[in-house]
């Protein structure tokens, strides 16, 4: 049993973590072994994501003071939350882990100010991460530059042939 001071401290810490997180995903973990939970936590930790098992009644009190208050109905039973700055990465990790371990059941979450149901979390998991999106943009931007460079580096005869072909069109 928690003392009153510990409860107040827990509520304060949870409120701070909920407010500072861009994404909060709620899941049930009943049936997962300690080893599986440790594996999931270590995957999350690698990406700076906090995955913690919650005390439902006290967590609901913390939720009341945050933008996540609409999630309070998800907190019943053996509940855990993933708190992160990167919604896509946390959704991907949880979705992939739940496919491998049927005992992890994603209930929903919040991304920014948008409430997500299970399907919403799975849709977010299909989005490219920030690094993947940057790589795609760089690839798109590099392609025209490479074509221009190859034309400029080509011998004069190839440029003349290219210009002749373009003028025929």
Query: What are 143-163's pLDDT values in tens digits?
Result: 776 666 666 666 666 666 767
44 pLDDT band, cuts 50/70/90, is very high
DSSP E strands in the chain: the ranges are 23-28, 50-53, 79-84, 105-111, 114-116
Number of domains in the chain: 2
How far is residue 163's CA from residue 154's CA, in Å, rounded to a whole number? 13
81 pLDDT band, cuts 50/70/90, is very high
Could you tell me if 116 and 97 lie in one domain? yes
Could you tell me if 76 and 153 lie in one domain? no
**Domain boundaries, position 152:** 131-168
Could you tell me if 29 and 77 lie in one domain? yes
Give pTM, 2 decimals: 0.73
Could you tell me if 121 and 42 lie in one domain? yes
Could you tell me if 109 and 46 lie in one domain? yes
Query: What is the Cβ-side half-sphere exposure of residue 93, based on CA atoms within 13 angstroms?
Result: 26
What is the domain-level CATH number for residue 90?
A: 3.30.70.1730
Could you tell me if 122 and 157 lie in one domain? no
Could you tell me if 137 and 120 lie in one domain? no
Write out the DSSP string of 38-51. HHHHHHHHHTT-EE
* pLDDT of the residue at 139: 77
Could you tell me if 97 and 156 lie in one domain? no
Could you tell me if 24 and 73 lie in one domain? yes
Could you tell me if 97 and 158 lie in one domain? no
Could you tell me if 78 and 144 lie in one domain? no
* pLDDT of the residue at 124: 84
Could you tell me if 143 and 115 lie in one domain? no
């Amino acid at each position: 049993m928690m003392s009153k001071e510990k409860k107040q401290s827990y509520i304060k810490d949870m409120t701070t973590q909920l407010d500072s997180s861009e994404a909060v995903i709620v899941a049930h973990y009943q049936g997962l072994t300690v080893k599986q939970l440790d594996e999931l936590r270590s995957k999350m930790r690698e990406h700076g994501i906090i995955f913690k098992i919650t005390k439902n009644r006290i967590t609901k009190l913390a939720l009341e003071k945050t933008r996540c208050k609409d999630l309070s109905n998800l907190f019943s039973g053996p509940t855990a939350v993933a708190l992160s700055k990167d919604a896509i990465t946390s959704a991907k990790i949880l979705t992939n882990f739940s496919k491998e371990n049927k005992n992890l059941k994603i209930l929903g979450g919040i991304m920014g100010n948008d409430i997500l149901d299970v399907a919403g979390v799975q849709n977010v998991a299909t989005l490219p991460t920030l690094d993947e999106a940057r790589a795609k943009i760089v690839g798109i931007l590099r392609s025209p530059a490479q074509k221009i460079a190859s034309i400029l580096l080509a011998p004069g005869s190839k440029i003349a042939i290219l210009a002749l072909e373009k003028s025929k069109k």
